[in-house]
């Protein structure tokens, strides 16, 4: 059976994750009211991944890596990891969005895709 320490640790982790998801959900919901360009398409026929898997860890690493870029030209294409768990992000901002505006658009796209396409291994964010 499980020890009480293990169960309390899992309960705390679950509560932290729930709070993080609520914060993301609230910010994405408010962004949806003001951003006409939000459109998410989860391509579930391309497969799914499991939370905590090597693919999920590589995806999180790549999402964080791209968020640290300046995005001066409004485009990025990066791959991380080794097959079959390699992850590729291809992201292009609208023509009028560079630098901070592009980074903001990227953050909105990531938050929206993570909520809409929880475990889809392929998704897209684009104008409707």
User: Buried (b) or exposed (e) across 46-80, using 16+ Cβ within 10 A?
Assistant: eeebeeeeebbebbeebbeebeeeebeebebeeeb
Percentage with pLDDT > 70 across the chain: 58
Q: Residue for token digits 């499980």?
A: 2
Is the pTM above the cut of 0.85?
Answer: no
65 touches 89 (CB < 8 A): no
Lowest mean pLDDT among 8-12, 25-29, 38-42, 111-115: 8-12
pLDDT on residue 39: 62
Give CA separation, 8 vs 11, 15, 19, 58, in Å.
Answer: 5, 10, 17, 28
């Amino acid at each position: 059976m499980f020890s009480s320490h293990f169960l309390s640790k899992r309960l705390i982790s679950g509560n932290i994750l729930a709070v993080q998801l609520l914060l993301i959900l609230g910010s994405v919901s408010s962004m949806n009211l003001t951003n006409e360009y939000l459109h998410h398409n989860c391509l579930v026929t391309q497969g799914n991944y499991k939370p905590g898997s090597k693919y999920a860890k590589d995806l999180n690493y790549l999402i964080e890596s791209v968020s640290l870029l300046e995005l001066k030209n409004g485009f990025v294409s990066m791959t991380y990891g080794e097959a079959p768990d390699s992850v590729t992000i291809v992201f292009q901002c609208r023509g009028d969005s560079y630098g901070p505006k592009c980074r903001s658009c990227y953050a909105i796209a990531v938050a929206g895709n993570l909520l809409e396409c929880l475990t889809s291994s392929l998704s897209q964010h684009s104008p409707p």
